[in-house]
Amino acid sequence: MYERSSVAELADSLRSELNRYSEGGKLPSSRALVERFRVSPVTVSRALAQLAAEGLVVTRPGAGAFRARPRTRAHATGDTSWQEVALSAEGAGDVIPRSVDATGVLGSLTAPPAGVIELNSGYLHPCLQPERALAAALARAGRRPGAWGRPPVEGLPELRDWFAREVGGALTASDVLVTAGGQSALTTALRALAPPGAPILVESPTYPGLLAIARASGCRPVPVPVDAEGVRPDLLAAAFEATGARVFVCQPLFQNPTGAVLAPGRRAEVLRIARAAGAFVVEDDYARALAHEDAGPLPLPLAAEDPDGVVVHVRSLTKAASPSLRVGALAARGPVVDRLRAIQVVDSFFVPRPLQEAALELVGAPAWPRHLKAVAAELRHRRDVLAGALRRELPAVAPAHLPTGGYQLWARLAHGSDDAFAAAALRAGVAVAPGRPYFCAEPPGPYVRLSFAGVSGAGELAEVVRRLASGLQDPL
């Protein structure tokens, strides 16, 4: 049994028995709980800590654990209906309503109901995460001199230097800011580069979290269609001319959700078009560490081939390691670095130093390249298993393009709506992501995104297709 499961089960057992004890009454000793439930002292300690956090028990060092007295409400719940008016009232100067629609993001962050297989996750399953290496890195980081002190606001110099080397080109540590993951980096970039009301060019389809950032900042996302070779330069140039936009956000490598890689002939063209428009290209390089085993040599980041400071590069360790290792970077050249730094400092001061130290320990350990190699092989295997099963059992949902990186398949439905498909899939015990949230304008058709990273293994992917085939009953 996993330790986390043991803790939860012990906490449930103790919670159900609390009525046996009077308020302030003492619970059995830790030793007695170890013997009775046949768990480790660490499990007992964590279970009691969980109950203490819930306010059900009180722990007193040297004395033991006691049933807590019930908390009394200070006052009855008030009337909050006035907030509906306050939150919906837009200011007279607001060009774009700054409402927040996080539906597309929450879909990949919310745990599905029990028994439902998660095919909409944006993160690696725990069995694919380097948990031992992370634990060792965090332990070593905590013992580093000054590990709990205040870090430089730009980030630890050694970590900034590592990110600069990863991006390549002529970038140095002075061109890099450490951020709290990729989402935070994108938020900082958009806030620094586009004022409220400004148009922002985005790939279509694109990552829903980016659309949420843009709209929450009061900006107007404008779609530029993507095909099998990435964004179309002719439409990008037309969009710059029509909107006067000064920002284009793209994912040139394993684009989310299509998996497209920007074609060699388009890379220089995209930079030339942006430079002519006096615009920045925000390069979200989210999946470089998620290349599949058969990907071959990867193209350099756009930032590595950009001497003029057109590209603001976003990189993160989160996708390849753990959802909780929220460490990323912004890399850029020129005066924009000062603007990015100012926005980040105002928002969050700095990324906690222990997390930065742990990230340094992780990427410097021999286990890191071994982990990336294992993930590359497993993601390729899962991609092939899922795509093969779809071709055999549900050809109407089989994707036209197999990506060589990332963690998802993007499929256009033969007929029917994506929402209806997602609802039918959920009834069959599978959570998928409907395609509509990936478009900031009307979609050209119904799509679904199927992620193969968040399941426990290839066997579960075969079960996914079996459930869909038997439970959808021709929803398309």
Domains of the chain, first to last: 3-67 (1.10.10.10), 103-128+369-471 (3.90.1150.10), 131-363 (3.40.640.10)
- pLDDT-wise least confident of 66-75, 185-194, 298-307: 66-75
C-beta separation of 386 from 450 below 8 A: yes
User: What integer pLDDT is reported at residue 62 of this predicted model?
Assistant: 79
Residue 450 β-bridge partners: 409
Q: Letter for the amino acid at 293?
A: E
- Identify which has the larger pLDDT, 278 or 74: 278
C-beta separation of 261 from 255 below 8 A: yes
* Helix axis angle, 353-363 to 157-167, nearest 10°: 50
And the tokens for 273?
């078009």
Q: Letter for the amino acid at 214?
A: A
Give the pLDDT band of residue 85 (cuts 50, 70, 90): low
Q: Which of 198, 206, 202 lies closest to 105 in space, CA to CA?
A: 206
**Nearest-angstrom CA–CA distance, 425 and 439:** 21
SS3 47: helix
**Nearest-angstrom CA–CA distance, 475 and 454:** 24
Write down the H helix ranges in 199-335.
208-216, 233-243, 264-276
C-beta separation of 160 from 294 below 8 A: no
With a cut of 70, say whether residue 90 has pLDDT above it: no
Residue 433 β-bridge partners: 449
- pLDDT-wise least confident of 93-102, 167-176, 354-363: 93-102
Burial degree of 415 (CB within 10 A; 0-12, 13-18, 19+):
exposed
Using alpha carbons only, give the angle 220, 225, 228 rounded to the nearest 5 degrees: 145
User: What integer pLDDT is reported at residue 2 of this predicted model?
Assistant: 42
CA distances from 266 to 167, 272, 273, 407 (A): 19, 10, 10, 24
Q: Tokens 């269609």 correspond to what residue?
A: 225
Q: Cβ of 39: how many Cβ atoms within 10 Å?
A: 19
**Nearest-angstrom CA–CA distance, 126 and 325:** 13
Q: What are phi and psi of 293, to 5 degrees?
A: -60, -30
**Nearest-angstrom CA–CA distance, 416 and 328:** 39
Q: Letter for the amino acid at 248?
A: F
Q: Letter for the amino acid at 32?
A: A
pTM: 0.81
**Nearest-angstrom CA–CA distance, 164 and 282:** 16
C-beta separation of 359 from 325 below 8 A: yes
Give the H/E segment covering residue 430. Answer: strand 430-431
Tell me the pLDDT tens digit for each residue of 109-132: 677 777 888 899 889 999 999 999
Tell me the pLDDT tens digit for each residue of 6-57: 788 898 889 888 888 888 888 899 888 999 888 888 888 888 988 888 888 8
C-beta separation of 236 from 266 below 8 A: no
**Nearest-angstrom CA–CA distance, 30 and 37:** 11
The percent of residues in the chain predicted with pLDDT above 90, rounded, is 56
Q: Which of 293, 260, 208 lies closest to 409 in space, CA to CA?
A: 260
C-beta separation of 360 from 144 below 8 A: no
- pLDDT-wise least confident of 19-28, 98-107, 431-440, 453-462: 98-107
Q: Cβ of 285: how many Cβ atoms within 10 Å?
A: 24
Q: Tokens 């629609």 correspond to what residue?
A: 101
C-beta separation of 293 from 380 below 8 A: yes
Instruction: Print the SS3 string covering 307-360.
Output: CCCCEEEEEECCCCCCCCCCCEEEECCCCHHHHHHHHHHHHHCCCCHHHHHHHH
